[in-house]
Chain A
Amino acid sequence: MRHEILDAPNFGLLALTLQAGEKVVAESGAMVAMGPAVSVETKMRGGLLAAAKRKLLGGESLFQNTFTARESEQLLYLAPPVEGDLRVKELARGEVFFLQSGNYLAHVGEELVLDTQWGGVRSFFGGIGFFMLKVVGPGTLFYGSYGAIHEVPVSAGGYTCDTGHIVGFSDGLEYRVRPFAGFKGLFFSGEGLVCDFEGRGTLYVQTRKAPALAGFLHPFRRVQQRGN
Protein backbone atom coordinates (compact mmCIF):
# COMPACT_ATOMS: atom_id res chain seq x y z
CA MET A 1 0.00 0.00 0.00
CA ARG A 2 1.26 3.48 -0.81
CA HIS A 3 -0.07 6.67 0.73
CA GLU A 4 0.24 10.31 -0.26
CA ILE A 5 -1.21 13.32 1.52
CA LEU A 6 -2.53 15.96 -0.89
CA ASP A 7 -3.86 19.49 -0.39
CA ALA A 8 -2.43 19.74 3.12
CA PRO A 9 -2.39 21.76 5.32
CA ASN A 10 -5.58 23.40 4.04
CA PHE A 11 -7.76 20.47 2.95
CA GLY A 12 -5.77 17.36 3.70
CA LEU A 13 -6.72 14.55 1.34
CA LEU A 14 -5.37 11.01 1.74
CA ALA A 15 -4.59 9.26 -1.54
CA LEU A 16 -4.01 5.53 -1.00
CA THR A 17 -3.02 2.96 -3.60
CA LEU A 18 -4.04 -0.53 -2.54
CA GLN A 19 -2.73 -3.85 -3.80
CA ALA A 20 -4.94 -6.92 -4.11
CA GLY A 21 -6.15 -8.09 -0.70
CA GLU A 22 -5.06 -5.00 1.23
CA LYS A 23 -7.51 -3.41 3.65
CA VAL A 24 -8.09 0.01 5.18
CA VAL A 25 -10.56 0.80 7.96
CA ALA A 26 -12.02 4.31 7.83
CA GLU A 27 -14.42 6.57 9.64
CA SER A 28 -17.91 6.51 8.23
CA GLY A 29 -18.32 9.21 5.60
CA ALA A 30 -14.63 9.54 4.74
CA MET A 31 -14.69 8.11 1.23
CA VAL A 32 -14.07 10.62 -1.53
CA ALA A 33 -13.38 8.46 -4.56
CA MET A 34 -12.17 4.96 -5.36
CA GLY A 35 -11.19 2.68 -8.15
CA PRO A 36 -13.68 0.18 -9.56
CA ALA A 37 -12.22 -2.89 -7.80
CA VAL A 38 -12.58 -1.77 -4.19
CA SER A 39 -15.20 -3.43 -1.97
CA VAL A 40 -16.78 -1.73 1.00
CA GLU A 41 -18.01 -3.46 4.11
CA THR A 42 -19.85 -1.63 6.86
CA LYS A 43 -19.54 -2.85 10.40
CA MET A 44 -20.31 -1.67 13.85
CA ARG A 45 -17.16 -0.60 15.56
CA GLY A 46 -16.06 -3.30 17.99
CA GLY A 47 -19.36 -5.14 18.02
CA LEU A 48 -22.87 -4.06 18.99
CA LEU A 49 -22.51 -3.51 22.73
CA ALA A 50 -19.18 -1.76 22.59
CA ALA A 51 -20.45 0.45 19.80
CA ALA A 52 -23.60 1.41 21.67
CA LYS A 53 -21.66 2.31 24.78
CA ARG A 54 -19.28 4.36 22.70
CA LYS A 55 -22.02 6.26 20.94
CA LEU A 56 -23.58 7.32 24.19
CA LEU A 57 -20.29 8.54 25.59
CA GLY A 58 -17.84 9.28 22.83
CA GLY A 59 -19.85 10.90 20.12
CA GLU A 60 -17.97 9.37 17.24
CA SER A 61 -19.99 7.42 14.78
CA LEU A 62 -21.20 3.89 15.44
CA PHE A 63 -20.09 2.57 12.13
CA GLN A 64 -16.90 2.24 10.22
CA ASN A 65 -16.13 1.05 6.73
CA THR A 66 -13.55 -1.50 5.70
CA PHE A 67 -12.26 -1.03 2.16
CA THR A 68 -10.67 -4.07 0.51
CA ALA A 69 -9.01 -4.05 -2.89
CA ARG A 70 -9.94 -6.98 -5.11
CA GLU A 71 -7.25 -6.12 -7.63
CA SER A 72 -3.96 -4.29 -7.43
CA GLU A 73 -3.19 -0.61 -8.00
CA GLN A 74 -6.60 0.51 -6.78
CA LEU A 75 -6.93 4.16 -5.82
CA LEU A 76 -8.79 5.13 -2.67
CA TYR A 77 -9.18 8.77 -1.63
CA LEU A 78 -10.25 9.54 1.96
CA ALA A 79 -10.88 12.92 3.60
CA PRO A 80 -11.89 14.28 6.99
CA PRO A 81 -15.14 16.26 7.11
CA VAL A 82 -13.67 19.60 8.08
CA GLU A 83 -10.95 21.79 6.57
CA GLY A 84 -7.47 21.41 7.93
CA ASP A 85 -4.42 19.24 8.02
CA LEU A 86 -3.97 15.47 7.70
CA ARG A 87 -1.16 13.46 9.28
CA VAL A 88 0.06 9.88 9.44
CA LYS A 89 1.54 8.20 12.50
CA GLU A 90 3.29 4.84 12.41
CA LEU A 91 2.93 3.16 15.78
CA ALA A 92 5.31 0.45 16.92
CA ARG A 93 4.04 -2.51 18.93
CA GLY A 94 2.82 -1.22 22.29
CA GLU A 95 3.36 2.44 21.37
CA VAL A 96 0.56 4.64 22.69
CA PHE A 97 -0.91 7.81 21.23
CA PHE A 98 -3.93 9.73 22.52
CA LEU A 99 -6.17 11.13 19.77
CA GLN A 100 -9.35 13.17 20.05
CA SER A 101 -12.13 10.93 18.73
CA GLY A 102 -13.45 13.39 16.19
CA ASN A 103 -10.00 13.61 14.57
CA TYR A 104 -9.74 9.92 13.69
CA LEU A 105 -9.82 9.30 9.94
CA ALA A 106 -8.55 5.77 9.13
CA HIS A 107 -6.06 3.08 10.05
CA VAL A 108 -4.22 0.15 8.55
CA GLY A 109 -3.30 -2.91 10.59
CA GLU A 110 -5.67 -5.36 12.21
CA GLU A 111 -3.77 -5.29 15.49
CA LEU A 112 -4.16 -1.56 16.06
CA VAL A 113 -6.35 -0.94 19.11
CA LEU A 114 -8.67 2.06 19.48
CA ASP A 115 -10.04 2.45 22.99
CA THR A 116 -12.26 5.28 24.23
CA GLN A 117 -11.16 7.18 27.31
CA TRP A 118 -13.27 9.76 29.06
CA GLY A 119 -11.67 12.90 30.52
CA GLY A 120 -13.70 12.52 33.66
CA VAL A 121 -15.38 15.92 33.77
CA ARG A 122 -18.72 16.89 32.32
CA SER A 123 -18.79 20.22 30.62
CA PHE A 124 -19.91 23.27 32.53
CA PHE A 125 -23.16 23.30 30.60
CA GLY A 126 -23.89 19.64 31.11
CA GLY A 127 -22.54 18.45 27.82
CA ILE A 128 -20.81 15.18 27.34
CA GLY A 129 -17.34 16.39 28.27
CA PHE A 130 -14.07 15.39 26.78
CA PHE A 131 -13.17 12.10 25.06
CA MET A 132 -9.97 10.73 23.72
CA LEU A 133 -9.11 7.57 21.84
CA LYS A 134 -6.19 5.65 23.27
CA VAL A 135 -4.49 4.20 20.21
CA VAL A 136 -2.08 1.31 20.73
CA GLY A 137 0.19 -0.04 17.98
CA PRO A 138 1.28 -1.79 15.90
CA GLY A 139 -0.28 -0.10 12.91
CA THR A 140 -0.60 3.03 10.82
CA LEU A 141 -2.95 5.78 11.98
CA PHE A 142 -4.32 8.58 9.79
CA TYR A 143 -5.87 11.58 11.52
CA GLY A 144 -7.07 15.04 10.62
CA SER A 145 -7.34 18.38 12.34
CA TYR A 146 -9.70 21.31 12.16
CA GLY A 147 -7.31 24.02 11.12
CA ALA A 148 -3.55 23.72 11.30
CA ILE A 149 -1.63 21.56 13.78
CA HIS A 150 0.49 23.48 16.26
CA GLU A 151 3.00 21.29 18.11
CA VAL A 152 3.75 22.24 21.71
CA PRO A 153 6.65 20.56 23.51
CA VAL A 154 5.44 20.25 27.09
CA SER A 155 8.03 20.33 29.84
CA ALA A 156 8.52 22.02 33.23
CA GLY A 157 5.79 24.55 33.94
CA GLY A 158 3.14 22.53 32.21
CA TYR A 159 0.61 23.78 29.68
CA THR A 160 -3.14 24.33 29.42
CA CYS A 161 -5.30 23.80 26.34
CA ASP A 162 -9.00 24.17 25.54
CA THR A 163 -10.26 20.61 25.09
CA GLY A 164 -11.90 21.37 21.76
CA HIS A 165 -8.51 22.39 20.40
CA ILE A 166 -6.71 19.16 21.32
CA VAL A 167 -5.83 16.88 18.41
CA GLY A 168 -3.72 14.46 20.38
CA PHE A 169 -0.75 14.01 22.65
CA SER A 170 2.03 11.55 23.27
CA ASP A 171 2.18 9.01 26.04
CA GLY A 172 4.03 10.20 29.14
CA LEU A 173 1.97 13.33 29.73
CA GLU A 174 -0.31 13.60 32.73
CA TYR A 175 -3.55 15.34 31.97
CA ARG A 176 -6.37 16.75 34.06
CA VAL A 177 -9.62 18.17 32.69
CA ARG A 178 -11.30 21.08 34.49
CA PRO A 179 -13.60 24.03 33.77
CA PHE A 180 -12.00 27.17 32.34
CA ALA A 181 -11.51 29.98 34.84
CA GLY A 182 -12.59 32.82 32.59
CA PHE A 183 -15.75 33.35 30.60
CA LYS A 184 -16.00 31.35 27.46
CA GLY A 185 -18.97 32.96 25.88
CA LEU A 186 -22.29 31.28 25.50
CA PHE A 187 -22.72 27.54 25.38
CA PHE A 188 -21.67 26.99 21.82
CA SER A 189 -18.30 28.57 22.05
CA GLY A 190 -17.15 25.38 23.61
CA GLU A 191 -17.61 22.95 26.41
CA GLY A 192 -15.97 25.41 28.76
CA LEU A 193 -13.34 22.78 29.57
CA VAL A 194 -9.59 22.97 29.50
CA CYS A 195 -6.96 20.31 29.97
CA ASP A 196 -3.85 20.90 32.12
CA PHE A 197 -0.78 18.96 31.02
CA GLU A 198 2.27 18.05 33.04
CA GLY A 199 5.29 15.89 32.38
CA ARG A 200 7.31 15.60 29.22
CA GLY A 201 5.83 15.02 25.83
CA THR A 202 4.25 16.63 22.78
CA LEU A 203 0.81 18.16 22.58
CA TYR A 204 -0.82 18.62 19.16
CA VAL A 205 -3.15 21.62 19.09
CA GLN A 206 -5.59 22.39 16.28
CA THR A 207 -6.20 26.01 15.48
CA ARG A 208 -9.98 25.79 15.15
CA LYS A 209 -12.61 23.76 17.01
CA ALA A 210 -15.88 22.06 16.17
CA PRO A 211 -18.14 23.32 19.00
CA ALA A 212 -17.42 26.93 18.00
CA LEU A 213 -18.43 26.19 14.42
CA ALA A 214 -21.58 24.42 15.64
CA GLY A 215 -22.43 27.44 17.76
CA PHE A 216 -21.85 29.81 14.87
CA LEU A 217 -24.12 27.78 12.56
CA HIS A 218 -26.92 27.14 15.05
CA PRO A 219 -28.87 30.38 14.35
CA PHE A 220 -28.79 29.63 10.61
CA ARG A 221 -30.68 26.36 11.00
CA ARG A 222 -34.23 26.18 9.79
CA VAL A 223 -36.81 26.30 12.55
CA GLN A 224 -38.88 23.17 12.95
CA GLN A 225 -42.50 23.86 12.13
CA ARG A 226 -44.82 22.83 14.91
CA GLY A 227 -46.97 19.87 14.18
CA ASN A 228 -44.50 18.34 11.71
Chain B
Amino acid sequence: MQYHIEHGPAFAWLRVGLEPEERIVAEAGAMVRQSSALEVETRLNASRKAGVFGIIVAFFVALLRRFLGGETMFVNEFWGPRGGEVVLAPKLSGQIMKKSLDGTRSLFVQRGGYLASSSGIDTRVRFGGLRTLFGGEGLVLLHCTGAGDVFVNSYGGITEVPVNGKFVVDTGHIVAFDGALDFRVRSIGGAKSFLFSGEGLVCEFEGRGTVYVQSRNLKALVGWLAPLLPS
Protein backbone atom coordinates (compact mmCIF):
# COMPACT_ATOMS: atom_id res chain seq x y z
CA MET B 1 0.00 0.00 0.00
CA GLN B 2 1.32 3.41 -0.91
CA TYR B 3 -0.01 6.27 1.09
CA HIS B 4 0.41 10.03 0.79
CA ILE B 5 -0.80 12.52 3.38
CA GLU B 6 -1.44 15.67 1.37
CA HIS B 7 -2.74 19.18 2.15
CA GLY B 8 -1.62 19.14 5.75
CA PRO B 9 -1.34 20.56 8.31
CA ALA B 10 -4.68 22.34 8.03
CA PHE B 11 -6.80 20.19 5.71
CA ALA B 12 -4.96 16.94 5.29
CA TRP B 13 -6.35 14.10 3.24
CA LEU B 14 -5.04 10.56 2.70
CA ARG B 15 -4.35 9.28 -0.79
CA VAL B 16 -3.95 5.50 -0.85
CA GLY B 17 -2.65 3.38 -3.72
CA LEU B 18 -3.88 -0.17 -3.35
CA GLU B 19 -2.16 -3.19 -4.87
CA PRO B 20 -4.40 -5.82 -6.48
CA GLU B 21 -6.61 -7.42 -3.81
CA GLU B 22 -5.16 -5.21 -1.11
CA ARG B 23 -7.81 -3.76 1.23
CA ILE B 24 -8.28 -0.64 3.30
CA VAL B 25 -11.09 0.04 5.77
CA ALA B 26 -12.29 3.62 6.21
CA GLU B 27 -14.77 5.54 8.30
CA ALA B 28 -18.12 5.92 6.51
CA GLY B 29 -18.43 9.11 4.52
CA ALA B 30 -14.69 9.60 4.16
CA MET B 31 -14.36 8.95 0.44
CA VAL B 32 -13.39 11.94 -1.70
CA ARG B 33 -12.63 10.22 -4.98
CA GLN B 34 -11.72 6.71 -6.06
CA SER B 35 -10.75 4.76 -9.12
CA SER B 36 -13.86 3.41 -10.80
CA ALA B 37 -12.27 -0.06 -10.78
CA LEU B 38 -12.41 -0.33 -6.98
CA GLU B 39 -15.14 -2.26 -5.20
CA VAL B 40 -16.71 -0.88 -2.04
CA GLU B 41 -18.28 -2.93 0.71
CA THR B 42 -20.11 -1.33 3.64
CA ARG B 43 -20.25 -3.03 7.01
CA LEU B 44 -20.63 -2.48 10.73
CA ASN B 45 -17.60 -1.24 12.62
CA ALA B 46 -17.46 -4.28 14.82
CA SER B 47 -14.32 -6.07 15.84
CA ARG B 48 -13.32 -8.63 13.24
CA LYS B 49 -13.05 -11.26 15.94
CA ALA B 50 -16.46 -10.47 17.43
CA GLY B 51 -18.95 -13.24 17.34
CA VAL B 52 -22.65 -12.79 16.72
CA PHE B 53 -23.18 -11.55 20.28
CA GLY B 54 -20.37 -9.06 19.96
CA ILE B 55 -21.86 -7.73 16.77
CA ILE B 56 -25.32 -7.39 18.32
CA VAL B 57 -23.90 -5.51 21.30
CA ALA B 58 -21.89 -3.25 19.02
CA PHE B 59 -25.01 -2.64 16.94
CA PHE B 60 -27.12 -1.53 19.89
CA VAL B 61 -24.42 0.52 21.49
CA ALA B 62 -23.78 2.26 18.19
CA LEU B 63 -27.51 2.82 17.68
CA LEU B 64 -27.77 4.39 21.10
CA ARG B 65 -24.84 6.66 20.46
CA ARG B 66 -26.15 7.59 17.05
CA PHE B 67 -29.45 8.53 18.63
CA LEU B 68 -27.65 10.68 21.16
CA GLY B 69 -24.68 11.98 19.29
CA GLY B 70 -25.16 11.33 15.61
CA GLU B 71 -22.03 9.28 15.08
CA THR B 72 -21.75 6.89 12.19
CA MET B 73 -21.20 3.26 12.93
CA PHE B 74 -20.41 1.90 9.50
CA VAL B 75 -17.16 1.48 7.68
CA ASN B 76 -16.37 1.08 3.99
CA GLU B 77 -13.83 -1.41 2.72
CA PHE B 78 -12.13 -0.66 -0.61
CA TRP B 79 -10.33 -3.19 -2.82
CA GLY B 80 -10.11 -4.31 -6.42
CA PRO B 81 -8.68 -7.12 -8.57
CA ARG B 82 -6.40 -4.61 -10.28
CA GLY B 83 -5.95 -2.34 -7.28
CA GLY B 84 -6.57 1.38 -7.60
CA GLU B 85 -6.48 4.68 -5.81
CA VAL B 86 -8.82 6.04 -3.14
CA VAL B 87 -8.65 9.41 -1.42
CA LEU B 88 -10.05 9.68 2.11
CA ALA B 89 -10.75 12.81 4.15
CA PRO B 90 -11.86 13.45 7.73
CA LYS B 91 -14.83 15.69 8.60
CA LEU B 92 -13.02 18.42 10.55
CA SER B 93 -9.95 20.44 9.68
CA GLY B 94 -6.56 19.25 10.82
CA GLN B 95 -3.80 16.76 10.33
CA ILE B 96 -3.50 13.02 9.62
CA MET B 97 -0.84 10.73 11.05
CA LYS B 98 -0.02 7.09 10.44
CA LYS B 99 0.68 4.80 13.36
CA SER B 100 2.07 1.36 12.65
CA LEU B 101 1.35 -1.45 15.07
CA ASP B 102 3.38 -4.64 15.10
CA GLY B 103 1.14 -6.80 17.27
CA THR B 104 2.96 -6.07 20.54
CA ARG B 105 1.74 -2.53 21.21
CA SER B 106 -1.77 -1.17 21.09
CA LEU B 107 -3.16 2.28 20.46
CA PHE B 108 -6.22 4.04 21.81
CA VAL B 109 -7.79 6.45 19.32
CA GLN B 110 -10.51 8.91 20.24
CA ARG B 111 -13.65 7.93 18.32
CA GLY B 112 -13.69 10.89 15.96
CA GLY B 113 -10.01 10.45 15.24
CA TYR B 114 -10.27 7.18 13.36
CA LEU B 115 -9.95 7.61 9.62
CA ALA B 116 -8.78 4.29 8.18
CA SER B 117 -6.78 1.15 8.84
CA SER B 118 -5.24 -1.71 6.93
CA SER B 119 -6.45 -5.28 7.22
CA GLY B 120 -4.78 -6.88 10.18
CA ILE B 121 -5.84 -4.06 12.49
CA ASP B 122 -8.64 -4.83 14.88
CA THR B 123 -10.71 -2.04 16.46
CA ARG B 124 -12.95 -2.31 19.49
CA VAL B 125 -15.00 0.44 21.13
CA ARG B 126 -14.22 1.26 24.75
CA PHE B 127 -15.75 3.84 27.02
CA GLY B 128 -13.69 5.97 29.38
CA GLY B 129 -16.20 6.45 32.14
CA LEU B 130 -19.83 5.49 32.64
CA ARG B 131 -21.09 8.96 31.92
CA THR B 132 -19.90 8.56 28.38
CA LEU B 133 -22.53 6.07 27.39
CA PHE B 134 -25.43 8.41 27.92
CA GLY B 135 -24.12 11.85 28.59
CA GLY B 136 -22.00 12.36 25.56
CA GLU B 137 -19.24 13.56 27.85
CA GLY B 138 -16.11 11.63 28.58
CA LEU B 139 -14.23 9.54 26.17
CA VAL B 140 -15.29 7.12 23.48
CA LEU B 141 -12.18 5.27 22.43
CA LEU B 142 -11.28 2.80 19.74
CA HIS B 143 -8.78 0.27 20.99
CA CYS B 144 -6.61 -0.69 18.02
CA THR B 145 -4.63 -3.91 18.12
CA GLY B 146 -3.03 -6.25 15.63
CA ALA B 147 -0.40 -5.64 12.99
CA GLY B 148 -0.75 -3.00 10.32
CA ASP B 149 -1.34 0.71 9.91
CA VAL B 150 -3.88 2.98 11.57
CA PHE B 151 -4.54 6.39 10.06
CA VAL B 152 -5.58 8.89 12.69
CA ASN B 153 -6.95 12.39 12.08
CA SER B 154 -6.91 15.32 14.46
CA TYR B 155 -9.00 18.42 14.86
CA GLY B 156 -6.24 20.98 14.65
CA GLY B 157 -2.56 20.22 14.83
CA ILE B 158 -1.01 17.25 16.62
CA THR B 159 1.45 17.73 19.48
CA GLU B 160 3.24 14.63 20.73
CA VAL B 161 3.66 14.68 24.50
CA PRO B 162 5.95 12.03 25.99
CA VAL B 163 4.52 11.21 29.42
CA ASN B 164 6.75 9.94 32.20
CA GLY B 165 4.74 10.33 35.38
CA LYS B 166 1.46 12.18 35.30
CA PHE B 167 -0.19 14.45 32.75
CA VAL B 168 -3.69 15.94 32.44
CA VAL B 169 -5.48 16.54 29.12
CA ASP B 170 -8.96 17.88 28.42
CA THR B 171 -10.83 14.89 26.96
CA GLY B 172 -11.85 16.80 23.86
CA HIS B 173 -8.19 17.41 23.00
CA ILE B 174 -7.09 13.77 22.98
CA VAL B 175 -6.33 12.29 19.56
CA ALA B 176 -4.68 9.04 20.61
CA PHE B 177 -2.37 7.53 23.21
CA ASP B 178 -0.19 4.47 23.79
CA GLY B 179 -2.02 1.46 25.14
CA ALA B 180 0.57 1.13 27.88
CA LEU B 181 -0.59 4.30 29.68
CA ASP B 182 -3.03 4.21 32.60
CA PHE B 183 -5.83 6.71 32.24
CA ARG B 184 -8.64 8.01 34.42
CA VAL B 185 -11.43 10.40 33.47
CA ARG B 186 -12.50 12.99 36.02
CA SER B 187 -13.91 16.50 36.20
CA ILE B 188 -11.40 19.30 36.27
CA GLY B 189 -11.70 20.30 39.90
CA GLY B 190 -14.76 20.16 42.03
CA ALA B 191 -18.44 20.42 41.14
CA LYS B 192 -18.47 24.17 40.63
CA SER B 193 -15.60 23.97 38.21
CA PHE B 194 -17.35 21.33 36.18
CA LEU B 195 -20.47 23.38 35.81
CA PHE B 196 -18.91 26.73 35.24
CA SER B 197 -15.36 26.42 34.15
CA GLY B 198 -16.19 25.48 30.60
CA GLU B 199 -13.79 22.58 30.86
CA GLY B 200 -15.77 19.40 30.67
CA LEU B 201 -13.89 16.37 31.70
CA VAL B 202 -10.19 15.75 31.81
CA CYS B 203 -8.19 12.60 31.41
CA GLU B 204 -5.36 11.95 33.85
CA PHE B 205 -2.60 9.87 32.31
CA GLU B 206 -0.03 8.00 34.34
CA GLY B 207 2.92 5.86 33.35
CA ARG B 208 5.25 5.95 30.38
CA GLY B 209 4.02 6.49 26.86
CA THR B 210 3.02 9.07 24.29
CA VAL B 211 -0.17 11.12 24.32
CA TYR B 212 -1.15 12.82 21.06
CA VAL B 213 -2.87 16.14 21.78
CA GLN B 214 -4.91 18.05 19.21
CA SER B 215 -4.99 21.81 19.29
CA ARG B 216 -8.73 22.16 18.78
CA ASN B 217 -11.76 20.68 20.55
CA LEU B 218 -15.21 20.18 19.04
CA LYS B 219 -16.97 20.81 22.37
CA ALA B 220 -15.19 24.12 22.77
CA LEU B 221 -16.28 25.14 19.26
CA VAL B 222 -19.86 24.17 20.08
CA GLY B 223 -19.77 26.13 23.32
CA TRP B 224 -18.38 29.18 21.55
CA LEU B 225 -20.97 29.05 18.76
CA ALA B 226 -24.04 28.32 20.88
CA PRO B 227 -24.72 31.93 21.99
CA LEU B 228 -24.53 33.08 18.37
CA LEU B 229 -27.33 30.79 17.28
CA PRO B 230 -30.97 31.77 17.19
CA SER B 231 -33.52 29.43 18.72
Contact present between A and B (CB < 8 A): yes
Give me the interface of A with B, judged by CB distance under 8 Å: 6-7, 10-13, 27-36, 38-40, 42, 59, 61-63, 65, 77, 79, 81-83, 102, 187-188, 210-211, 213-214, 217-218, 221-222
Q: Which residue of A lies closest to B206 (CB)?
A: A36
Whether, in the assembled complex, B215 has its beta carbon less than 8 Å from a beta carbon of chain A, the answer is: yes
Query: Are A42 and B157 neighbours in the complex by a CB distance under 8 Å?
Result: no
Residues of the B chain whose Cβ atoms lie less than 8 Å from the Cβ of A31: 170, 188, 199
- Identify which of B93, B189, B223 contacts A39 (C-beta below 8 A): B189
Those 5 A-B pairs whose CB atoms lie nearest each other, nearest first = A28-B198, A29-B198, A7-B157, A11-B156, A81-B224
A-B residue pairs in contact (CB < 8 Å), sample of 12: A10-B93, A27-B198, A28-B198, A32-B215, A36-B165, A36-B168, A63-B197, A79-B217, A81-B216, A81-B220, A82-B224, A218-B229
Residues of the B chain whose Cβ atoms lie less than 8 Å from the Cβ of A34: 168
Q: Smallest Cβ distance from A213 to chain B, in angstroms?
A: 7
- Identify which of A36, A40, A211 contacts B197 (C-beta below 8 A): A40
CA distance A213 to B168 in the complex (A): 31
Question: Contacts A11-B94, A33-B169, A33-B170 known; A82 to B217 CB distance under 8 Å?
Answer: no
Q: Smallest Cβ distance from A180 to chain B, in angstroms?
A: 18
Question: A-B pairs with CB below 8 Å: how many?
Answer: 122
Whether, in the assembled complex, B193 has its beta carbon less than 8 Å from a beta carbon of chain A, the answer is: yes
Within 8 A of A (CB), among B183-231: 188-189, 192-193, 196-199, 213, 215-217, 220-221, 223-225, 227-230
Query: Are B10 and A36 neighbours in the complex by a CB distance under 8 Å?
Result: no
CA distance A221 to B9 in the complex (A): 28
Query: Are B156 and A83 neighbours in the complex by a CB distance under 8 Å?
Result: yes
Question: Contacts A6-B157, A42-B197, A218-B230 known; A81 to B166 CB distance under 8 Å?
Answer: no
